[in-house]
Amino acid sequence: MSQTFDVIVIGAGPGGYVAAIRAAQLGFKVACIDEWSNADGGPAPGGTCTNVGCIPSKALLQSSEHFEHARLHFGEHGISTGAVKIDVGQMLGRKNTVVKQNNDGILYLFKKNKVAFFHGRASFVQADAAGYQIAVAAPAAGAEPQTLSAKQVIVATGSSARELPGVPFDEVNVLSNDGGLRLGAVPKRLAVIGSGVIGLELGSVWRRLGADVTVLEGLPTFLGAVDEQIAREAKKAFDKQGLKIELGVQVGEIKALKKGVSIAYTNAKGEPQTLEADKLIVSIGRAPNTQGLNAQAVGLQLDERGAIVVDADCRTNLPGVWAVGDVVRGPMLAHKAEEEGVAVAERIAGQHGHVNFDTIPWVIYTSPEIAWVGRTEQQLKADGVAYKAGTFPFLANGRARALGDTTGMVKMLADAATDQILGVHIVGPMASELIAEAVLALEFKASAEDIARICHAHPSLSEATKEAALAVDKRALNF
């Protein structure tokens, strides 16, 4: 049986489910198809983000941070606990509950907004006068396949972890983000390949819980996309915590051992090394999900990486077919996917949806957290822009002292002539929350003086942002 919709969304990750809801709000008859299943075989909408990404990683980061605080810092507050232990099963159970709450929340939102949800793999069948025909292969054995059609299709099929050539994920010893989020016990020795966002976040989780973690990074610089001063400060903190990060390595053969794996590599000096570990997480970036879509049936254009080719407005080469999120160019971030999803739904409705790629914030949820928006100091130099920089350390912030976390700083970069804020870079406590003010400032083209003249609550970490703005004009009050 075939059903006709105005808009079909393929994928219910943050790009897809938000696009579906927005399209329904705008009065369209909408279907959203997603193949992700939970442990019981039921639907688990929310994509990578909800199931094996943003949400479960933040749940484990929280649990492991509590554990580390209880072990190392409660004493400072006069709290004694006896031996602090971690029940990994309980921790994973809590994480699974958080994930399930998010899955159920999306199903509820679909109902509330009258989005028809289909559980199964979607693939293009053909294009004809009625629009695009999409087959839905239900995951459950014996379930009826269905065909849906619509004139407008939004592809939001996301991405999957990249494997090292010849080293497939077995999720037992060689783990992707998926396996790295559900280890049943704390490994004694954990190796991570790639010191990007996942490597640092998951490396931090298991280090805090007691693993001896070594991260092997191919590039000679640490967090090359991050402002150099901020990356240096973060690296210092990670070194102090005992997260071992080796830069400039070349990974060679990876062999399975009776227990764990051995990784041959050459270090930055070109010397051959071997690292043995009980578990290995490979976090070397992600690849777009386009296999299984049957893109060739309709002539949907892909690039050499398999990503769907889109213009700045997320239009593909096919009329009425759009693509958003990790499956297209740009940063692989949930909030970027969401913004694109909303903008596309609005464009379909004839509105002027817009995404400002220059003000997309980045956050790395380590401790200290790292967050930034806009251009780094090295980018401004490369672009030949004359700028002023103001920094303010959390060491001089009253709230940070009361929290017991004074690592890091806020750094603000402003145009030397106009004072317009060009970038804000934070390493320190709650950087993930503090960055919102900076995004707003960039979006509204605020000057450093604007932020410096706004009243910030005392005592709060946000005062460090105000002080960094004052420091741009060399008049910080508390440092």
Residues classed as catalytic: 458
What does the alpha-carbon distance between residue 279 and residue 211 come to, in Å, rounded to a whole number? 10
Alpha helices in 148-299 (DSSP H): 177-180, 197-208, 228-241
Provide the minimum distance between the beta carbon of 24 and ligand FAD in the complex, in angstroms, as a whole number: 17
Helix (H, G, I), strand (E, B) or coil at 134: strand
75's torsion region: left (phi>0), alpha (psi -120 to 50) or beta?
A: alpha
Number of helices (H), then strands (E), belonging to the chain: the values are 13, 22
DSSP class per residue in 57-121: HHHHHHHHHHHHIIIIIGGGGT---SS----HHHHHHHHHHHHHHHHHHHHHHHHHTTPEEEESE
Query: What's the min distance (Å) between Cβ of 379 and ligand NAI?
Result: 18
Query: Exactly one of 30, 99, 122, 231 binds ligand FAD (CB under 6 A); which one?
Result: 122
Quote the DSSP letter at residue 299.
Answer: T
Taking the C-alpha atoms of residue 138 and residue 461, their distance in angstroms, rounded to an integer, is 49
Give the range of 81-89, 360-368, 414-422, 470-478 binding ligand NAI by CB under 6 A.
360-368
Q: Which of these segments, 70-78, 184-192, 281-289, 368-376, binds ligand NAI (CB under 6 A)?
A: 281-289
Q: How far apart are CA 47 and CA 337, in angstroms?
A: 11
Q: How far is the CB of 74 from ligand NAI (least distance, A)?
A: 27
Residue 10 binding partner per list ligand FAD, ligand NAI, none, with a CB distance cut-off of 5 to 8 Å that depends on partner kind: ligand FAD
Task: Identify what 218 binds: ligand NAI, ligand FAD, none; CB under 5 to 8 Å per kind.
Answer: ligand NAI
Q: Listing from the earlier edge strand, what are the strands of the sheet with 212-216?
A: 174-175, 279-282, 189-193, 212-216, 244-246
b/e burial code for range 256-285 (CB count within 10 A of at least 16 → b): eeeebbebebeeeeeeeeebebbbbbbbbe
Closer CB to ligand FAD, 32 or 468, in the complex: 32
The beta strands (E) that lie in 347-405 are given as: 362-364, 369-374, 387-393
Closest by alpha carbon to 357, among 327, 395, 331, 376? 331
Closest distance to ligand FAD from the beta carbon of 229 (Å) = 23
Q: With binding defined as CB under 6 A, does residue 388 bind ligand FAD?
A: no
Among 6, 7, 9, 16, binds ligand FAD (CB under 6 A): 16
CB 163 within 8 A of CB 169: yes
Please give the residues from 28 up to 47 whose contact with ligand FAD meets the rule CB under 6 A: 33-36, 47
Contact of 87 with 209, CB cutoff 8 Å:
no
Query: Contact between 334 and ligand FAD (CB under 6 A)?
Result: yes
Q: 339 with 355: CB under 8 angstroms?
A: yes
Binding mask 170-209 for ligand NAI (x = CB under 6 A): -----------------------xxxxxxx-x--------
If one asks whether residue 328 binds ligand NAI (CB under 6 A), the answer comes out as: no
48 near ligand FAD, rule: CB under 6 A? yes
Residues 398-433, buried b or exposed e (16+ Cβ, 10 A)?
Answer: ebbeeeebbbbbbbbbbbeeebebbbbbbbbbbbbe
- Residue 323 interacting with ligand NAI (CB under 6 A): no
For residue 157, the partner it binds in ligand NAI, ligand FAD, none, with Cβ less than 5 to 8 A by kind, is: ligand FAD
Residue 365 in the binding site for ligand NAI (CB under 6 A): yes
Query: Which residue lies nearer to ligand FAD by CB, 46 or 260?
Result: 46
Question: Should residue 148 be labelled a site residue for ligand FAD when binding is judged by CB under 6 A?
Answer: no
Q: Does 333 bind ligand FAD (CB under 6 A)?
A: yes
Residues binding ligand FAD: number (CB under 6 A): 37
Smallest Cα–Cα separation from 261: which of 295, 300, 217, 214?
A: 214
Q: Considering CB distances under 5 to 8 angstroms, the limit depending on partner class, which of ligand NAI, ligand FAD, none binds residue 251? A: ligand NAI
Span interacting with ligand FAD, options 8-16, 94-102, 212-220, 268-276, rule CB under 6 A: 8-16
Contact between 410 and ligand NAI per CB under 6 A: no
Could you tell me which stretch among 140-148, 216-224, 230-238, 337-345 binds ligand NAI (CB under 6 A)? 216-224
Residues forming the site for ligand FAD (CB under 6 A) = 10-16, 33-36, 47-49, 53-54, 57, 121-122, 156-159, 177, 198, 289, 292-293, 325-327, 332-335, 337, 365
